[in-house]
């Protein structure tokens, strides 16, 4: 039998488990969305004691996000010959994002003294493994035909992904500059998209994964986009409340996440 067919067939017995992993991710998103309105995840400005062991934040980001890069790279390379050009493009978008997030962002990011709860790292790693696996499974088992390159959903999704990537990477840069110029603490960001919303980095991340879901037109992509919104929207509102409480002069017209609306 052809080696490519054998490689493809190896995924068939996994499909029952993948279905549950995908449905599980939707269920976790609903749970996380409600929970995070009551309890802000205890890292960054919302860090507080009482969440067990902690570790340096920069290394937590690396450990948390690297599994997403490793799973996509590993399975992508193993299945390179069978997945087809559309899946290759989609996997490259994923790899670019997670290369930045796991191997660039942690080394650029501000203070080396900040700490991050190990418990949170553990949950994030499990989520990232689940999420990367269902998405790599989608790219391997359901390669889209080449005509998909000309489909409106693919083109709009790719544009959205790039716009989101630029927005979130630029917003990260604005925050880094603020830290360099403003010292160890927090100050009011006034550059770039921060003029309109308190968390443009989250908005960028949401745009990226909504774009990926659209371009891949898949349940796995949708499960990731839904989780990103469930995780980051409540935190954007918590950040916005925190800014307003911390700085009396915080711009009143600025919204939390969606310019002019929310």
Q: Which is nearer to ligand NAP, 158 or 178 (CB)?
A: 178
Could you tell me how many residues make up the chain?
262
Round to whole Å and give the CA distance between 149 and 180: 42
Q: Which is nearer to ligand NAP, 143 or 157 (CB)?
A: 157
**Residue 232 makes contact with ligand NAP by CB under 6 A:** yes
Backbone angles phi, psi at 116, to 5 degrees: -140, 130
**Residue 93 makes contact with ligand NAP by CB under 6 A:** no
Classify each residue of 233-259 as buried b or exposed e, where b means 16 or more C-beta atoms within 10 Å of its C-beta.
bbbbbbbbebbeeeeeeeeeebbbbee
Q: How far is the CB of 12 from ligand NAP (least distance, A)?
A: 30
Round to whole Å and give the CA distance between 19 and 235: 28
**Residue 109 makes contact with ligand NAP by CB under 6 A:** yes
Q: How far is the CB of 219 from ligand NAP (least distance, A)?
A: 18
Question: CA angle, corner 49, sides to 26 and 116, nearest 5?
Answer: 55
Q: How far is the CB of 224 from ligand NAP (least distance, A)?
A: 8
Of 242, 111, 109, 107, whose CA–CA distance to 183 is shortest? 111
Q: Which is nearer to ligand NAP, 78 or 174 (CB)?
A: 174
> With CB under 6 A as the contact rule, which of the stretches 9-17, 20-28, 85-93, 197-205 interacts with ligand NAP?
197-205
Residues that bind ligand NAP (CB under 6 A): 44-45, 57, 109-111, 114, 168, 172, 175, 178-179, 186-187, 189, 201-202, 205, 228, 231-232
């Amino acid at each position: 039998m052809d080696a490519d067919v054998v490689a493809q067939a190896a995924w068939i017995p996994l499909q029952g488990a993948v279905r549950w992993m995908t449905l599980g991710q939707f269920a976790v998103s609903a749970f996380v969305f409600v929970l995070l309105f009551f309890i802000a995840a205890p890292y960054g400005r919302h860090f507080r004691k009482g969440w067990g062991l902690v570790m340096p934040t920069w290394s937590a980001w690396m450990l948390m996000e690297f599994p997403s890069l490793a799973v996509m790279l590993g399975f992508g390379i193993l299945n390179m010959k069978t997945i087809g050009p559309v899946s290759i493009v989609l996997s490259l978008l994923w790899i670019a994002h997670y290369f930045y997030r796991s191997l660039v962002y942690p080394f650029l990011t501000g203070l080396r003294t900040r700490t991050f709860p190990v418990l949170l790292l553990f949950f994030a790693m499990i989520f990232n493994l689940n999420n990367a696996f269902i998405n790599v499974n989608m790219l391997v088992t359901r390669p889209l035909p080449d005509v998909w390159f000309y489909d409106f959903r693919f083109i709009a999704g790719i544009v959205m992904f790039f716009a989101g990537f630029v927005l979130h990477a630029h917003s990260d840069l604005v925050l880094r500059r603020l830290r360099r110029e403003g010292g160890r603490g927090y100050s009011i960001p006034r550059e770039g998209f921060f003029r309109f919303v308190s968390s443009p980095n989250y908005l960028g991340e949401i745009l990226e994964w909504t774009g990926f879901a659209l371009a891949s037109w898949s349940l796995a992509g949708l499960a990731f986009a839904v989780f990103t919104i469930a995780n980051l929207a409540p935190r954007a509102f918590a950040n916005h409340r925190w800014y307003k409480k911390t700085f009396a002069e915080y711009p009143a017209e600025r919204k939390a996440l969606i310019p002019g609306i929310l």
